[in-house]
Amino acid sequence: MSNMSQICDQIAHLAQTYLSLDRWMFQESARLTELSNEKSPTVIYDSPWCRIQITFDEWVPPHQSVDYAIRIYYGRLHALDNMSTMVWNGEECWCWHSVIKELHFLDNQIPEYAANNLHSHDLLKKYREIVQSKDLRHKQVEWEIRKHAFIWEHYAPRLFELFDLRRTDLWEQYRQFLKQVYDIKGRSPNIKPPLDKVC
């Protein structure tokens, strides 16, 4: 199995290869190479708008040609390098975000639609159809990074602007949208903070 430093090198290489990092002014700002209950190997990039975090997810995912999998998250510029939550304005909240709910918001979907599609989006279905013809099914790391490149083709820079600390109006609209989504979907008492507490 790869060591953590090698994983970060591989992640950074694929990010440079497939994401338009220079075009959107993303620069590597942090690399975490530890693996523990609280931390995973991670490469973080910052732009003038937001941060992206490419993080190790699991060892030996089924049916894959690589020995690990990754996830990609987006954060505002205050998001912590090594924690998923933080205290913001006196309230604990999630500071790193997967992208599906944000895409529904940018599509001007109604909260009911988003509540029923929390884990799916039409663009991601289209991406799956496109890559089935390519040899990516067993290359999860490349598949995931190229998925976000595909998202950027359709949503940049609007996606990045959503996370911009200077766009407090847009973020507040998103927070209200998310509250309505979870008012409909319901909140798990086991998830702390609730998933609509975002910063």
Task: Return the bridge partners of 45, or none.
Answer: 28, 52
Of the candidates 60, 88, 99, 36, the one whose C-alpha atom is nearest the C-alpha of residue 199 is 88
Of the candidates 99, 103, 100, the one whose C-alpha atom is nearest the C-alpha of residue 75 is 99
- Structure tokens belonging to residue 173: 């609209």
Q: Looking at residue 198, what DSSP letter applies?
A: B
Q: Scan for tokens 């699991």, then name that residue.
A: 58
Q: Are 51 and 44 in contact (CB under 8 A)?
A: yes
- Structure tokens belonging to residue 100: 């599906």
Angle at 69 between CA 196 and CA 117, to 5 degrees: 35
Distance separating alpha carbons of residues 94 and 178, to the nearest angstrom: 12
What is the pTM assigned to this prediction?
0.92
Per-residue pLDDT of the chain (199 residues; tens, 9 = 90+): 458 888 899 999 999 999 999 999 999 999 998 766 566 889 999 999 999 999 988 765 566 556 678 899 999 999 999 899 999 999 999 999 999 999 999 999 999 999 999 999 999 999 988 887 667 767 888 889 999 999 999 999 999 999 999 999 999 999 999 999 999 999 999 999 999 999 9
